[in-house]
Homo-oligomer: A and B are copies of this chain.
């Protein structure tokens, strides 16, 4: 098997997960594919590898252009298809922040984090909070098995707030 491993300097959007993390997620995908009688195509592992080189959120377009930039051609249809699989095996999570595209994020060992979203400019800032985490996990929801959560806190960032104050003068 020959995983696509681009050998180049990483741009600002990229930040390698540790090799061991990448190997682990490949393993998880591999087992998932075997279990479901699906094929181990190079595209699948190239997409997974690329996703695990991205720090933060991304959309399908981002993955697509990053792979093209590596001279690794995959169609968008294939990316959509495979992100679906990665969602199923919990290697990726989906975010819907309210922009026009669906955002995704690697989820293995990424840790739970919360998002602050400015309702004016749309900037997203992440934070962690153990009290919130504890409160969510202490909540027993009838008839449901909890797997994960996402918290979106809405408000106004300082930049936009200052802009607003100027405008109302």
A18 within 8 A of B: no
Q: Is A98 an interface residue (CB 8 A)?
A: yes
Task: Say whether B132 contacts A144, CB under 8 Å.
Answer: no
| Stretch of A2-10, A25-33, A41-49, A145-153 lying at the B interface | A145-153
| Bound CA–CA A161/B163 (angstroms) | 49
Q: Are B151 and A136 in contact (CB under 8 A)?
A: yes
Instruction: Find A148's partner among B102, B138, B149, B154 (CB 8 Å cutoff).
Output: B154
Chain A stretch 40-98: residues in CB contact (< 8 A) with chain B: 94, 96-98
A139 CB within 8 Å of chain B: yes
Q: A134 to chain B: which residues have CB within 8 Å?
A: 135
A144 touching B156 by the CB < 8 A rule?
yes
CB 8 Å contact bits of A116-154 with B (1 = contact, 0 = none): 101100000101010110111011010111111111111
Query: What are 17 inter-chain pairs, A to B, with CB distance below 8 A?
Result: A96-B96, A96-B97, A116-B144, A129-B135, A129-B139, A131-B135, A132-B132, A134-B135, A143-B157, A144-B155, A145-B158, A146-B155, A147-B155, A148-B153, A148-B154, A149-B154, A150-B152
